[in-house]
Amino acid sequence: MAISVQSTTSTPSQALLDSVNGKADAKTASVNATQDRFMTLLITQMKNQDPLNPMDNAQVTSQMAQLSTVTGIDKLNNTVESLIGSVQNGQSYQATGMIGHDVLVPGNTISSTGTGGYFGADLPIGADKLTVSIKDAAGSTIRTLALGAQTAGVATFNWDGFADDGSVAKAGSYKFDVAATVAGQSAATTSLNYAQVMSVSNSTSGVKLNLSNLASVSTTDVREIF
């Protein structure tokens, strides 16, 4: 039975609160240092200006506006970075609810211990005919499954572990190719691996699910949860 993980409310990170409340940190200190340097340069420029050709108000105002813009952008960037970190932490806590569950994710491997295994296919427009070829490590097809017509969406299948000659396939990892046709023409399809979520981790590219087949995938790669 497929399930979905509901959204959870996460506590804002201290970094986010510090950014919103204006707590000084390394980046804030850098911004303050930039402001100090600007004001020093501006005062020096005004002290040493030509009395016969002084800076006009528009020029001073323009320079002040530029500093204000840069400072505002720096503060906004700090706040957004903290917000992203807080959201990612919340996603991690949410994703932990998937640990121990089986999922279907893009891939084309089946691990068999002599009894075959489960796999799936994502069929955006369905298929009049779906054929799966299971191949050994040498790339030779050991079993061809004719799975008939399929409706659009995610479909789950089971390989019984037998080869076409009736023998039991050796335990190990196998590849499978999925071919779908509609009205005699090749149709779009995505092969799906069946694996269990073992743990969750954070990375620079977002939250990752670590699977029993040693693959790491994004939560957005999950097509179905069991």
* pLDDT at site 4: 41
Q: Which of 122, 167, 127 is nearest to 143 (CA)?
A: 167
pLDDT per residue, tens digit, the chain (226 aa), is 454 434 333 444 555 445 445 544 555 566 667 667 766 776 776 666 656 566 566 666 676 666 667 666 766 676 666 655 555 566 677 878 899 999 999 999 998 888 889 999 999 999 999 999 999 999 999 999 999 999 999 999 999 999 999 999 999 999 999 999 999 999 999 999 999 999 998 877 788 999 999 999 998 999 999 9
Residue spans of the domains in the chain: they are: 14-98, 102-225
Per-residue burial over 113-152, b if 16 or more Cβ lie within 10 Å, else e, is eeebbbbbbbbeebbeebebebbbeeeeebbebeeeebee
CA distance 75 to 81: 10
* pLDDT at site 99: 93
Reported CATH class of domain 102-225: mainly beta
* pLDDT at site 10: 42
Helices (H), the chain: 14-21, 26-47, 57-95
Whether residue 212 contacts residue 202, with contact meaning beta carbons closer than 8 Å, is answered with no
Cα dist from 5 to 26, 192, 219, 226, whole Å: 37, 20, 11, 11
The answer to whether the predicted template modeling score (pTM) of the entire model surpasses 0.85 is no
Q: Which of 119, 138, 140, 141 is nearest to 189 (CA)?
A: 119
